[in-house]
Structure 1
Amino acid sequence: MKRIGFLIVLLAISLQSIAQELTVRKLYFEGLKKTKESTLRKMLDTEVNTPLDSTLLSTDIIRLKRMPAVAHAYFTVTPINESECEVKIGVEENFTLIPTLNLWTTTNRRLAYKVGLYEYNLLGRNLRVGGFYQHNGFDSYGVQFEAPTLFSRNFGLAFYHQSWKSEEPLYFDQASANYKYENISYELLGLFQINFRNTIAAGINLFKERYTYLSGHTAAQVPQRLDVNKKLLKFRYTYDDLDYFYHYVSGFKSQLYLQYVTTVNSYQKDFLIAWNDLFYFKRFGTRGNWANRLRVGLSSNIKSPFAPFALDNNVNLRGVGILVDRGTGSIVWNTEYRHTLIDKKWFALQTNVFTDIGSWRHPGGSLSDFVQAKNIHVYSGVGLRLINKKIFNAIFRIDYGYGLTANASRGFVFGIGQYF
């Protein structure tokens, strides 16, 4: 047995040595329909007339699978002669022209809707454009353009414009008031990929905010109308070591967000917002997926009803309600186990069980707020996912969250895409 084991090891070393001596004489793609071959070639480190490196090829495949246009990718190596080979990269493309529709109930129980249309692979060149219209008693819209590889594989630009109106609750003096909130913004970001795992985005957002009192509690120190121009400097750093196999994910990812907002008015001061999202995903068998997100955020601790971190159904705790509270600090852990019940060529049905745990620091409060029982919220529940594997991010989700802490609420949460 020892002799057989030695021969196997020797054979593996010999094969590796041969592979290292092979030169890539031809590299081609199979399965492309819309995406331009030149766009994909720009993403690869593997090139013609260079030594074959299977590790480099594997990294290239992961990079391709992160693109919205690619549902799945793989490679095969075929020797041409003793020193040369050809590499085929097989690609299964996503359908990337995606309409969106969301329905929900506003703070005053009014039915609201949001419709949009987004293209994630415009002209087959990894360009992303789209926009939305929203009606929730007020009319809002937004448009976006993202070109992550506009100048090279490593450098691109993104532009966003939004005119947003909504009715939102503000909390102060142990009570609340409803305000009409308006935000008109223009944002420009530079996108830079340092290497395979590390990317940064930085830029500026110029926006105008307006708060108009509608109903509820009033206080002398809180204005019934606030109209101010602001400037937001934005920075995002991403470490991404995730690997995708259709809707299954494994690996680790970290995203750090830094924002500095400048303004001139007597009710709001310049302030800094920072938060970090840590993601960890692990595969279990062929159909199980454990998913985790830990978000830790802090902002300038100004005692104001306009605090930036919200306690909300659609952001952090499923079942808690819409804009239940605000704070100047937030710690949230979302964990869920996803199990695929049906997995066909184009469709998958997935169920999940989850627990969402969060705590907030009140405006003007201390870090001890995070460990006070009244500020800790725990929700648990179950959900369902309907997944089209051939359309980018075509995951319809429904979750039912039930509060486990005192005076907690419960309810359904709908959306497109995984919760995190």
Structure 2
Amino acid sequence: MKSCVLFVISLLCTASMLFAQDPVVADLKVQGNKKLKTGFIKKIAKIQSGVPLDSTIIEEDIKRLKRLPAVAHAYFQVFPANETNTYNVFYNIEENFSIIPSVNIYTTNEEEFAYRIGLYEFNLLGQNIIFGGFYQKDTYNSYGVNFRSPNLFSRNFGLALNFQDLTTEEPVFFDNTSANYKYNNLSYEVLGLYQFNFKNTIELGVNFFTEDYEYKSGATSPDVPQDLNVKKILYKAIYEFNNLDYDYQYVSGFMNTFNFQYVTSDDINLPEFLVARNDFSYFARIGETGNWASRLRLGMATNDDTPFAPFAVDNNLNIRGVGNTIDRGTAAIVLNTEYRQNLYEKGWFALQGNAFIDAGSWRNPGGGLGDFAKSQNIRVYPGLGLRFIHKKIFNAIFRIDYGYGVTKDASRGFVFGIGQYF
């Protein structure tokens, strides 16, 4: 149906050129939306009354709408208006339910257990504003509050504000041994959001935070302090190229996200450092009901010989089944790839199965690039999972994955959560 409409629009444009007249949009009309404001849709749409009728711009608008958390699906129609060579464009919206709880639960065969629960509104005031918070139990209590409005000031310019008080028990690795520390991160962040165009966006901001380490158990060393309280400032820049297209639970296309951070510090035990991370994600439709998804993550930081290195090997971040923060490094290479297959679908519900391989390696703090090839740093975890999907509620994908390590000293375990793993 969509290709037929595009063909008709192209035919109209060609015919108009032959008669030296360009088809013009008489009006943009929005249908099907209830909570999402019509004014907001017209604010972010590039098709406006009086502009030339352009199928490329319409397609771009529809992709933009389908990326919104409040939209489950969108499509368009074009009809002649009263005046000659003018046309009404209709954007038809199928809305998501946008007040969503979030749940992440992870365990390992060592009987570790942690969870994070939250509640978020992804379409506050019908303006594509995300607002909510979370509570986390990972040995200790933590919480955070988040606000994000990509189109707060205009179609292209928005703002994000984040606060968190995060406390966990973290292993610190040094001299081929480790110790357990109570770690607290209290942070306040502000980000400016700017969209250059449909595919390219940038975020620039600053984060004021305090890190507190308190020794709890394990090995000790005169070179490793048992208590630290350090005030830091983090300067952040994120560039994203997004060419993804959504069709309910299916995704196609690719996205690249580059994240650069510069962290200052007032303590020589946690010195200032640079961190750069790049995520390349690729999605492909396989037949009518299959989806292949892959993410390659490359990370590099200042190579200080410190037990407090920035890249963590963790169940909920990069490798399913590996455990809760089992190692740290100053550089990382991680590949997550999986095949998602629809097993059942009817109406609003879909059941997906997936087979995955998560693999990665790390550079030891102060080490060389040869660390990536060391067997003790390589983790390979194949596994299987299920996805229970509500197609009309944003991100309502309950996932269960079981990862089984096949490399040296491997563990295994379940990872539960809301939303696809990546």
Question: Against the structure 1 CA distance between its residues 77 and 101, is the aligned structure 2 distance closer, same or farther, given a 3 Å change threshold?
Answer: same
The aligned residue for residue 5 of structure 1 is none
Q: In the alignment, what sits opposite 1:270? A: 272
Q: C-alpha distance in 2, partners of 1:381/1:266? A: 42
Deviation at 1:170, TM superposition (A): 0.9
Change (3 A) 1:223 1:414: same
Counterpart position of 1:78:
79
The aligned residue for residue 354 of structure 1 is 356
Equivalent residue for 1:375, pick from 369, 374, 377:
377
SS at structure 1 position matched to 2:244: strand
Distance 1:111 1:324 in 2: 14
**How big is the shift at 1:16?**
4.1
Q: Distance in 1 between matches of 2:103 and 2:285?
A: 31
Structure 2 residue aligned with 1:23: 24
1:99-248 equivalences in 2 (<5 Å): 99-104=101-106, 109=111, 111-248=113-250
Cα distance, 1:372 vs structure 2: 2.5
The amino acid that maps onto 1:305 is: P
* Equivalent position SS for 1:42: helix
In the aligned structure 1, how far is the partner of 2:139 from the partner of 2:379?
A: 30
Give 1:223's aligned amino acid.
Answer: P
Q: Name the CA distance, whole Å, in 1 between partners of 2:110 and 2:233.
A: 31
Q: Distance in 2 between matches of 1:370 and 1:103?
A: 29
Counterpart residue identity of residue 255, structure 1? T
Gaps of 5+ in 1: 1-10
Number of equivalences = 410
SS in 1 for 2:309: coil
Q: Distance in 2 between matches of 1:334 and 1:112?
A: 22
Aligned partners of 1:414 and 1:390: how far apart in 2?
21
1:67 is aligned to 2:64: no
Letter in 1 for 2:81: I
SS at match of 2:323: coil
Deviation at 1:12, TM superposition (A): 10
**Partner amino acid for 1:38?**
G
SS in 1 for 2:324: coil
Question: Is this contact kept in 1: 2:163–2:188, CA < 8 A?
Answer: yes
C-alpha RMSD over aligned residues: 1.8
Q: Deviations over 1:275-302 (max 9, x none)?
A: 1000111101111111010000000000
The corresponding residue for 1:58 is: 59
Unpaired runs of 5+ residues, structure 2, are 1-7
Runs of 4+ in 1 over 3 A off after TM superposition: 11-16, 101-113
Tell me, yes or no, if the aligned pair for 2:10 and 2:55 is still in contact at 8 Å.
no
Pair 1:283 & 2:285 matched: yes
The whole-number CA distance in structure 1 between the counterparts of 2:214 and 2:131 is: 32
Question: Using the alignment, how far apart are the partners of 2:369 and 2:302 within structure 1?
Answer: 12
Query: Contact between 2:306 and 2:365, CA under 8 Å: does it hold in 1?
Result: yes
Q: Which amino acid aligns with 1:292?
A: S
Deviation at residue 388 of structure 1 after TM alignment: 0.6
Alignment check: 8 A CA contact 2:384 2:403 kept: yes
Q: Percent of counterpart pairs with the same letter?
A: 56
* CA distance 1:266–1:231, change in 2 (3 Å): same
**1:48 pairs with 2:49:** yes
8 Å CA contact 1:110–1:137 kept in 2: the answer is no
> How far did residue 135 of structure 1 move?
3.0
Q: Are 2:12 and 2:23, in contact at CA under 8 Å, matched by a contact in 1?
A: no
Instruction: Call closer, same or farther: CA 1:382–1:16 in 2, change over 3 Å.
Output: same
For 1:312-331, what aligned pairs fall within 5 Å after superposition? 312-331=314-333
Change (3 A) 1:219 1:107: farther
Contact 1:110 1:136 in 2 (8 A): no
Q: Is the 8 A contact 1:107 1:168 kept in 2?
A: no
Q: Residue in 2 aligned with 1:259?
A: 261
SS in 2 for 1:58: helix
Relative distance call for 1:39 and 1:13 in structure 2 (3 A) is closer
Query: Comparing both chains, which one has the higher relative contact order based on Cα–Cα distances under 8 Å and sequence gaps of 6 or more?
Result: 2
Q: Give, in angstroms, the shift of residue 190 of structure 1.
A: 0.2
8 A Cα contact 1:381 1:399, kept in partner? yes
2:9 and 2:137 mapped to 1: Cα distance? 63
The answer to whether the 8 Å contact 2:243/2:253 transfers is: yes
Aligned mates of 1:390, 1:12 — CA distance in 2? 30
Amino acid in the other structure paired with 1:214: K
Q: Any conservation in 1 of the 2:104–2:115 contact (CA below 8 Å)?
A: yes
- Given residue 79 of structure 1, which amino acid in structure 2 is its aligned partner? P
Aligned counterpart in structure 1 of residue 367 of structure 2, from 365, 368, 374: 365
Deviation at 1:14, TM superposition (A): 5.3
The separation in 2 between residues aligned to 1:106 and 1:166, in whole angstroms, is 17
Secondary structure, aligned partner of 1:39: helix
Shift in Å, 1:107: 11
Q: Report deviation, 1:381.
A: 1.1
Task: Encode CA deviations 1:168-194: one digit per residue, 9 max, x unaligned.
Answer: 111111111110001110000000001
| CA deviation vs aligned residue, 1:339-370 (integer Å, no higher than 9, x gap) | 11112221110011111110100000001111
